[in-house]
Structure 1
Amino acid sequence: MTLKSSTSPKSHIPPLASLRAFEATVRLGGFARAATELSVSTSAVSHQIRGLEDLLGARLLERSTGLGGIGLTEAGASLLPAVSHALSLLEEACSQVKGVPKKLTVAANGSFSSMWLARRLAEFSARYPETPLNAITLDGDPDFARHEVDVAIVHIHVDKVRADDLVLFREEVFPVCAPELHPFASKAVCRCRLLQETHENAPEFEWRNWKAQFGLPSDFDTKIVRYSGFSQVLGAAIGGAGIALGRLPLIEADLRSGRLMRLFPDLSRPASWCFVLRTAPERRHKLLEPLIEFLRLEAALPAAQVRSSAVAAGV
């Protein structure tokens, strides 16, 4: 078949190479990193972006932001989402033609990933075995473009929830301990070692805010062992080292298995922090919506099931 020449006006879409250079430079934070990814020289990347700016008649990058870094101008910030989205669509289409599915990347912090998310991602992957699933550990709100993340589960203070956030769940806090310690601990909290996580802006994670409720003595602070992360607190509690302030749903599996027990079945407080879903504005993987719906359903189940199990066991 012979293709006829077109008489339509010349396209205003810039060359793909210049758009790729622009996106990679912003995502990776510099010309040298972009050059390495694109397998060209640093000067070639700079030349491509200069040509793109000349073609569009607008400055896209600020090249003097600190120690040799780059920053987006207003025009660059306006262009970037469309370029990133278009390149993402092209990548997915080419992958399909080649028979290599585009990977789906999920980010979350370490504690949440290991205690709640990892098993569920494996279950989701089993439903869609043709799509590679990539789970990475990141604290805080990720740079979606730089880390190539499709969806992030972010742990934030309830006061910081944005209008476009999808709240997965708010944590629930209550005292827990190992089964062998439970008979003694439930009657004499003040005589037990207290395990505590260091966490900013979360008063419910600190034993001093439970002092009156348990009648803790004035010198109770000497009984506290402080840890930098919740995984350490959890390990110590499961090992029978003392009483911890557990966080549901992170301890869901430990309550189900009996490795941990609630000290008092009806005693709990809502946490100051919650987990929210945030998606990359320029990345729209075909399995993004199915994954979000799967996680929403999973998040809706555990709390009620754990409470029912605890009541049935007389915990």
Structure 2
Amino acid sequence: MALKKLPSVASLKGFEACARLLNFSQAAAELHVTQSAISHQIRQLEESLGVTLFDRSAGAMTLSENGAALLPVVRSFFQGMSTIVEKFENNDRQKTVLEVFVHDSFATTWLLPRLAGFYARWPHIDIKISTVEFSRFDNPATQVAIRIAPKGSAWPGLHSVFVMAEQIFPVCSPSLVETYGLPTCAADIMRYPLIFRVRNRLNGEVVDTPSWDNWLKRTNVPLTPLNRTLSVPYTAMAVLAAMRGLGVAMARTSHIADEFETGKLQKLWNEEVDTNSGYYFLCTPGKEKTPEIEAFFDWLQEQIALQRVER
């Protein structure tokens, strides 16, 4: 059905205010326009509808019969418009929650220190970190996983990308270097107090831990008795102990955020040893191009690239 030309929204707002206040001056003040403008709007509305909306006789302004019939229609229009606009605004502001399944140590030492940069770029995406049930993807459009595994691992039923190789290297606090001096060769590190990670199983799975034995073999240092000063169950705990000056920790790529830049830690020897493992980015096949997952994946790759430059 073709619609006749409808009155302007401004004239309807003017009419509603005048009908409610029954005073042109007060209506003009409420709408922040002049009384002349209100009078003009009402006159145009009456001419457009072909009826009189107000009775100005007897020295007081009242609604005419036609004005009384129009008022509830106008109010219903503005109420409906306000409701739908608010709904649109809420939808526009609604955030998406992206659930990231990740190892707790990786979340604590690598992911969390960098998340502020992600939120600054994508404030409409909230991150929910889950450290259990890596294989659960019950909401595939908004779930991803980051999991460590040997290079070349297969992930049946999942889209997978190898994103970060894992290297190990010895780190310590600057205060420890002041006490013991810098090593002139890899073998010199044997005179430092060493921090060991002793746990090698996690949830029933064998864990490829940062191993002093592996590093010494790769750097051709004899496996002489080591100066073990502290043993801890987690690599992140070993790194924290190293920052406190308790000894030298064998750190891994994923457990270093900005400690080198801030001066909390320094490498005791520059040679890094490949562990033949690394981190995979996982999601449900076909969902890697959804806006939230693609944004997180792109940011993840950027952060990994920046870490390579910083090291």
Say yes or no: TM over 0.5: yes
Could you tell me whether the CA contact under 8 Å between 2:196 and 2:250 is conserved in 1?
Answer: yes
Alignment root-mean-square deviation, CA: 3.2
The equivalent position to 1:272 in structure 2, one of 273, 276, 299, is: 276
TM-score of the superposed pair, with normalisation by structure 2: 0.58
Counterpart in 2 of 1:152? 145
Could you tell me whether the CA contact under 8 Å between 1:108 and 1:152 is conserved in 2?
Answer: yes
Gaps of 5+ in 2: 2-87
SS in 2 for 1:292: helix
Q: Deviations over 1:179-233 (max 9, x none)?
A: 111251643422322112234667772223344534453x32x625332111210
- 1:274 offset after TM fit, Å? 0.7
SS in 2 for 1:209: helix
How many residue pairs match? The answer is 210
- 1:270 offset after TM fit, Å? 0.9
SS in 1 for 2:303: helix
Could you tell me whether the CA contact under 8 Å between 2:105 and 2:236 is conserved in 1?
Answer: yes
Gaps of 5+ in 1: 2-93, 307-315
Counterpart in 1 of 2:164? 169
> For residues 75-94 of structure 1, what are the structure 2 equivalents within 5 Å?
none
- In structure 2, relative to structure 1, the CA distance for the partners of 1:294 and 1:209 (3 Å cut) is closer
- 1:99 offset after TM fit, Å? 5.6
CA distance in 2, matches of 1:157, 1:305: 24
Structure 2 residue 244 is the aligned partner of structure 1 residue 244: no
Counterpart in 2 of 1:288? 293
Structure 2 residue 155 is the aligned partner of structure 1 residue 143: no
- 1:170 offset after TM fit, Å? 0.5
CA distance in 1, matches of 2:132, 2:260: 26
Structure 2 residue 210 is the aligned partner of structure 1 residue 205: yes
TM-score of the superposed pair, with normalisation by structure 1: 0.57
The equivalent position to 2:177 in structure 1, one of 182, 185, 193, is: 182
Identity percentage over the alignment?
A: 22
Higher-Rg member (1/2): 2
- 1:283 offset after TM fit, Å? 5.9
Q: Deviations over 1:146-173 (max 9, x none)?
A: 7985111112222424484111211111
